[in-house]
Amino acid sequence: MALPAYATTKDKIWYYTFRVICYAIFFFLMAPIMIMIPLSFNVQPYFSFTPEMLRLSPEGYSLRWYQDFLSSDSWMRSIRNSFIIGIASTALATTLGTLAALGLSRSEMPFKGAIMALLISPMIVPLIISAAGMFFFFSQINISGTYLGVILAHTALGTPFVIITVTATLVGFDHSLTRAAASLGASPSRAFFKITMPLILPGVISGALFAFITSFDEIVIVLFVAGPGQRTIPREMWSGIREDISPTILAVATLMVLLSVLLLLVIELLRRRSERLRGLSPG
């Protein structure tokens, strides 16, 4: 919105002040994340810019923290663990969540509101309480300190996201399409995979991404339920921050930021595709 020609001086001052305030807030949001990227190339084990770095001289920069990260067994193991747990719990959460969302979006579903509130609750209940509950329960059934335990816990945390995104896609879904498929002789499962699935796929994928990032970023449950064999990336960062904070953390953080940029792009593309498919906005 540009300033109109008749704007008074007061209007102008306000117009620019407001923009300066807004950009300052955007700066507050982005700066902490951005500042870590150059610092991760620091030669010195410090968290501030050295004079060499400020002069942009090549001696001030190095890849030693990345090398440190890539040659560390515990970091590599944590990457593997994060992906095992993340992928398994995402697969479970997406399957269970999509089925449930399909049921919940049917008009005949009994107790819809109550069941919805219950299924969303893992997102609302403070993590420390979920973790405490699972800590006791999982050690009773002997899955504490196993992959299975962490995967089941992360599945519970991930399903609300799948339900929310898939239900949102189903809002614009035209149920006469499946009826048309049925009237043309398709079995329910064929109608689902040929008609319903392709249409709700953007919602399913973005739900799956949310579930994955939830598991990938989760630490409280891991602290309580996982054993030393299931240390994930956040768990490794946690002890890195608590015990010996070194710029290796910043190298990991930079790579994680790159990963989130990637995820952000995928989600945005999916959102656009979904809106186009549902005819909500042009291209």
**Would you count residue 148 as binding another protein (CB under 8 A)?**
no
Report residue 61: phi and psi, to 5°. Answer: -115, 150
The one-letter amino acid code at 135 reads: F
Candidate segments 55-63, 69-77, 127-135, 194-202, binder of another protein by CB under 8 A: 127-135
Site for another protein in 56-95 (CB under 8 A): none
Return the residue of 242, 244, 282, 283 that touches another protein, per CB under 8 A: 242
**Would you count residue 202 as binding another protein (CB under 8 A)?**
no
**Would you count residue 13 as binding another protein (CB under 8 A)?**
no
Distance, in Å, from the CA atom of 274 to the CA atom of 165, rounded to the nearest integer, reads 11
Q: How far is the CB of 127 from another protein (least distance, A)?
A: 6
Q: How far is the CB of 219 from another protein (least distance, A)?
A: 6
Candidate segments 58-66, 72-80, 83-91, 120-128, binder of another protein by CB under 8 A: 120-128
Site for another protein in 167-186 (CB under 8 A): 167, 179, 182-183
Complex with another protein: residue 76 or 179, whichever CB lies closer: 179
Q: How far is CA 77 from the centre of its chain?
A: 21
**Would you count residue 106 as binding another protein (CB under 8 A)?**
yes
Candidate segments 55-63, 66-74, 83-91, 161-169, binder of another protein by CB under 8 A: 161-169
**Would you count residue 45 as binding another protein (CB under 8 A)?**
no
Distance, in Å, from the CA atom of 93 to the CA atom of 159, rounded to the nearest integer, reads 5
Complex with another protein: residue 58 or 113, whichever CB lies closer: 113
